[in-house]
Each structure stands twice: as structure tokens, then as C-alpha cells.
Amino acid sequence: MDIGIGLVGGGYMGKAHAVAYSAVGAVFDTALRPRLEMIAATSAESAERYRKAYGFARGTGDWRDLVADPKVQAVVIASPQSTHRTIAEAAFAAGKPVFCEKPLGASLEDAEAMVAAAEASGLANMVGFNYVRTPATQFVRRLLADGAIGRITWFRAEHTEDFLADPGLPATWRTMGRANGCMGDLAPHPVNCLLALMGPVAELSARIETVHATRPGPDGPVAVDNDDQAQLMLRFASGVMGHLFVSRVATGRKMGYAYEIHGTTGSIRFDQEDQNAVWLYRAEGPEATRGFTRILTGPDHPDYLPFCQGPGHGTGYQDQIIIEARDFLQAIATGTPVWPTFRDGLAVSRIIDTAFKASADGCWHAVPHDLPQT
């Protein structure tokens, strides 16, 4: 059975989702087969350009037309985060499932309102945390669940990139507004990851800073009013301590979504820049022969085989988005929530909000976890 997909936003992530919904039926043989019904952009002209490029049946310069259209049966939001809440609330009110790119909203208030709307509707809802869906990280989740490295004693994560490392780069929308800073843009991904791997965070301490206070503008220096990097000390509900570092000014790092986990009988390392490998250390045998083993993902790892039958050939960024599309279609078809739902996205927003409070007063803060976080 087919399902009409409406996509809001045709830029970087819009293209990724358009490609994913074009491919997902063939890759995973899904029960629901997506039909690219309508795409919405900021103008009729840009919508028409995206329509032709991505293969949608129709385009519109007003997302409200997309949400109201009877042939659009599910809505994918890939527009700026300041628009997420309004579009999602309208889609749920129209009786349509929603997939929303991360972060859930531009603020904690937005995220809470979106969860309320999603749960009141009873419709399928998901948030786009794609990196945690690599076969490698899915495999790590399995290793941890199986106790492969014993009792966990320490966790460290980072998300480091260098797209704003050069202080001579001009001021843009990315350097304006808290929601567009490093904590709003990059941090949600590793926060989602640490929740997936380690469970709820009980309390945290944080330091959030702007490294380059001004950037060139057309009429002179322009003040940067959001953050470039941050570090968080964490205490998980399990009692384990951890650390998170995020930066958009980490010179040399391109996609440094990485983590290291220590246990009583082993350790695990992963780096998204080498996304098809997991490094596993087991404290077994003579000390002289111990060492980290590099495990290349292959058909025996989660969600790898539908893309390729050869181990070590690897999957890529676009494949993560296709896996997300499969999961969203599954949630719609079965009526069963698939992680991460809007509620899970709210758990990320709560940690981000708590980190800003902790950075402001220099104290440890308890993280509200009255809602499930994974």
C-alpha cells in the first residue's frame, strides 16, 4: 500500500529525506511504499525547483497547503527549528503522523508543546537523530545490553566539527540566536547518543562559551550571540560518571561524533569519521597479547545487509536517513512507537536546557526525568 509523503523544507536535509523516501521501499521492502506527493518551501519558485529535482508530484510555497492536502498522509519536517512546533501541531490536528528533524523545537517550551500534541493525537511521531542508527552504533547498543564489557565505569562523548573554526568567516544565521548555537545545533546528537547507550542523566555541570566573540559583517564586526563550544560533566542515573564535549570550532575535526566507554572487563571506542568500524577491547588472555580489535561492520550487524552483502564495504550518511524512513513507516503501519519518539526528543531538550542553567550559575543541576528518556 502506498502512502503520500509531504516534505517541508527542500535544503540539505530536505534532499536527504527526499532521497530516503524514494529508496526505502526498495532497500527494506517496506509494507508502506512512499509516494512523493508534495514539497513545501519558502516560495512557490523554490518549491517548484525542489519538486523537479527530487521527483515530487507537486510543490507549494505555503506549508499549510501541504498539511491540509488530503493526498498528503504523513508529514516530514526538515525546515528550520523555529518552525517545527507550528507545523507539527498543525499536522497532528489534521490527523497526520509527523517525522521531525532534530532538535524537536527551538526551545524546551516548544518541545513540551510538541510532545503534548503528539500524544494527544495518538499518531506516529519520530525525531531525526540519524547518527545513532549506524550499524556500528546499533551494534554497540547490543554489546552493552549483553554485558560485553562488564559493569560500565565511565563514558565520554564528543561532537566536534570545524565549520566555524576560522574567526575570519563572516557572521551568518548560525551565529545568531541560542537555538542556532553549538548547543542547539550539534549537542542534541551526542546527547541522544548518550541517552541511548547509558540511559537517563541524573545531574550535570556545564560550561558553555563563545570562542570568537565577533565575526566580519558587511559594515564591520558583528557580535556573535550564541555559543561555539561546551563541556558537560555528567552523572547518570546508574551512578556512572561521564563527560561530553561539543564544538563547532574544533580545527581539523569534520564529523567528530565519537564516544568511548569503559567497563570492568573491556572498553569500546567509536568515531563517526570512521563510521563502519567499532573498536572493542576485552580484558582476556595474557597482558602481552591484549589490545583493541577493529571490527568492521558487515551483514551480521544491524541494518547492514539490506544495503550490501559484503562485510567491510560500509554504509554511509544517506543510509542512516533511509533507516530512519523505514522506522517511521513501520511506526505508521503498525501503530507501535519506534524510538526515538517526540517524548525521547524532549528528554534531549531537557538536558540542553539544564546545561544552560548549570553554565549560568556554575552549579550542578538535577535533570528533570519525570518522562522516560530512552
CATH numbers and ranges of domains, the chain = 2-129 (3.40.50.720), 132-366 (3.30.360.10)
| Residue 369 pLDDT class (50, 70, 90 cuts) | confident
Rounded Cα gap, residues 360 and 357, in angstroms: 5
Give the pTM.
0.95
pLDDT of 96 over the 50 cut: yes
Rounded Cα gap, residues 10 and 177, in angstroms: 22
| Residue 299 pLDDT class (50, 70, 90 cuts) | very high
Q: What is the mean pLDDT of residues 206-210?
A: 98
Q: What is the mean pLDDT of residues 311-316?
A: 95
Q: What is the mean pLDDT of residues 163-169?
A: 98
Rounded Cα gap, residues 350 and 344, in angstroms: 10
By residue count, the chain amounts to 374
Max Cα-Cα span within the chain: 68
Give just the sign of the alpha carbon dihedral 330, 333, 339, 343.
positive
- Closest to 210 (Cα-Cα) out of 225, 228, 222: 228
Q: What is the mean pLDDT of the chain?
A: 96
| Cα→Cα distances 83→167, 262, 317, Å | 29, 40, 25
Rounded Cα gap, residues 266 and 151, in angstroms: 9
Each residue's pLDDT tens digit, 116-132: 999 999 999 999 999 99
Query: Grid coordinates in use for 39?
Result: 514539497
Each residue's pLDDT tens digit, 209-236: 999 999 999 999 999 999 999 999 999 9
Alpha-helical (H) ranges within 69-159 are: 84-93, 108-121, 135-145
Q: What is the mean pLDDT of residues 33-59?
A: 98
pLDDT of 43 over the 60 cut: yes
Q: State the pLDDT at residue 192.
A: 98
| Cα→Cα distances 315→146, 214, 305, 319, Å | 24, 39, 10, 6
The distance from CA 327 to its chain's CA centroid, rounded to whole angstroms, is 14
The distance from CA 297 to its chain's CA centroid, rounded to whole angstroms, is 21
373 versus 104: which is more confidently predicted?
Answer: 104
| Residue 272 pLDDT class (50, 70, 90 cuts) | very high
- DSSP 8-state code for residue 288: G
pLDDT of 374 over the 60 cut: no
Rounded Cα gap, residues 4 and 23, in angstroms: 14
